[in-house]
Amino acid sequence: MQNNRVAVLGIYVTDLVFRASRQPAIGETLIGSSYIMGPGGKGSNQAVAAARAGAAVTFISKIGKDAFGESGLSAWEREGITSRVVQSETEPTGAACIFVNESSGENAIIVVPGAALSLGAAELDAAAGAITSARVFVTQLEQPIAAARRGLEIARAAGVITLFNPAPAISLPDQFYSLCDYVVPNESEAASLTGVSVSSADDARRAGDILLKKGAGAALITLGEKGAVFHTPERSVYLAAFFAGRAIDTVGAGDAFVGAFAAALAREIDPLEAARFASAAAGISVTRPGAAAAMPTREEIERLLAQS
Ligand code: RIB
C-alpha cells in the first residue's frame, strides 16, 4: 500500500476569533459583531488540512493538561489524526487572540504558544519514528527553532520530503534552508526572510531566487488573493488564486495551503499539480469561518479543480 503519511510538528492553541469593523486603537474599547472559539495553531491547522485532504497524519506537539488541551485532543480524534503530543503537568495550552475585519475577512493575530514553547530536540528524538515513517514532514516556527531544526534533520536523514513554512518569520542561518525541500512563506514572510518587498509574482521570483541560493530545494510563495509562485532552479510558474466564493475569513488560509500541499506531495503528485491542489484548498478555506474548522476535504478541493 502507498505510504501517504504526513508528520506535522507545530503548535496547538485555542483560537478566539473576534469580528469587528476595524481594529481598536490603544486605550479604546470596541463593540465587535461576533466571536467564535475553536482549534488553531499553525501546525495543528496544517495537520487538519492534510488529513481532510486525504493524508494519514501524525501531529507532534506539546500542550497542557487543561480544557484547551482537551479540545485539541478531541479535535485530532475527530479528524483521524494520530497524536504524538506530550501533555505538560505544569505549563498551559496556548491561545490566540484573532481580529477579523468583518468586511474584508483580513486578520491580525497574537498567539501565545504555551507549553509548546518548551518543545526541544529531545521531544523530536522521541517522536523520530513518526517522522522517519512518513513520506512528508512539515513544520513552521511557532515552536522553538531548535525543535523545528531537529525535526527537519531527522526527516532529511531518512529521505523524507521536508516542507518548511517559515511562520512567523525570523532570521535563519543558511544551513537551515538546506534541510528544506520546499520553503513555503507568504508575501510578508518571504520579504522578511529575503529583504525583497513582495507584492507581485516578479517580486516573488526575486525572493524565490534568494531562498534557493540560501539552500532551499524549491520556494512556493503565496500571495493571498493574487495567487502563488512555484519557483525551482528548473522552472518558475505563476499560479492564479482559485475563487470559491466571497472571502469572509482568511485565518488559516496559509495553513490550508501548506497542509493540502503536503497531502498531495504524499500521494506523489507532480509538485506543480500539488501546488494547484493547495491553492484550491486555500481558496475554499477563506469562504468559511475559523481556522481548522474551515479546512476543505479532498473531494471539495477536487470538485473546485474540476470546475476551473
Ligand atoms: O495561521 C493561523 C493560525 O495562526 C491561527 O489559528 C492562530 O492560532 C495562529 O497560530
What pLDDT shows up at residue 41? 98
What residues are paired with 110 via a beta bridge?
97
Question: pLDDT digit string (tens) for 247-257?
Answer: 999 999 999 99
- Nine cell digits for residue 302: 477536487
- Residues near 65 by beta carbon (within 8 Å), at least 6 away in sequence: 87, 88, 89
What pLDDT shows up at residue 277? 98
Q: How many residues are present in the chain?
A: 308
What pLDDT shows up at residue 308? 85
C-beta of residue 38 within 8 angstroms of C-beta of residue 12: no
Residues within a 6 A CB radius of ligand 1: 13, 15, 40-42, 45, 96, 109, 111, 142, 251-252, 254-255, 291
C-beta of residue 211 within 8 angstroms of C-beta of residue 227: no
Q: For strand 13-20 and strand 107-114, is the pairing parallel, antiparallel, or unpaired?
A: unpaired
What pLDDT shows up at residue 288? 96
Q: What is the mean pLDDT of residues 66-89?
A: 98
Question: pLDDT digit string (tens) for 230-242?
Answer: 999 999 999 999 9
Q: Is the pLDDT of residue 2 over 80?
A: no
The residue whose C-alpha atom lies closest to atom 1 belonging to ligand 1 is 252
End-to-end CA, the chain: 31
Asked, as a colleague might, if the bond just before 271 is cis with ω within 30 of 0, I would say no
The residue whose C-alpha atom lies closest to atom 8 belonging to ligand 1 is 41
Q: What is the mean pLDDT of residues 207-229?
A: 97
How far apart are the C-alpha atoms of 283 and 253, rounded to whole Å? 8
Q: How confident is the model at residue 1 (pLDDT cuts 50, 70, 90)?
A: low
Q: Which atom of ligand 1 is nearest to the CA of 292?
A: 6
Q: For strand 236-239 and strand 182-183, is the pairing parallel, antiparallel, or unpaired?
A: unpaired
Q: What is the mean pLDDT of residues 92-106?
A: 95
How far apart are the C-alpha atoms of 61 and 279, rounded to whole Å? 26
E strands of 93-204, at which residues? 93-101, 107-114, 136-139, 161-164, 182-183
Q: Which atom of ligand 1 is nearest to the CA of 254?
A: 1
Q: How confident is the model at residue 3 (pLDDT cuts 50, 70, 90)?
A: confident
Question: pLDDT digit string (tens) for 168-190?
Answer: 999 999 899 999 999 999 999 99
Query: Which residue of 59, 100, 255, 285 sits with most ligand 1 atoms within 8 Å of its CB, as the best mutation to test the pocket?
Result: 255
Say how far residue 275 (Cα) sits from the centre of its chain: 14
How far apart are the C-alpha atoms of 244 and 69, rounded to whole Å? 33
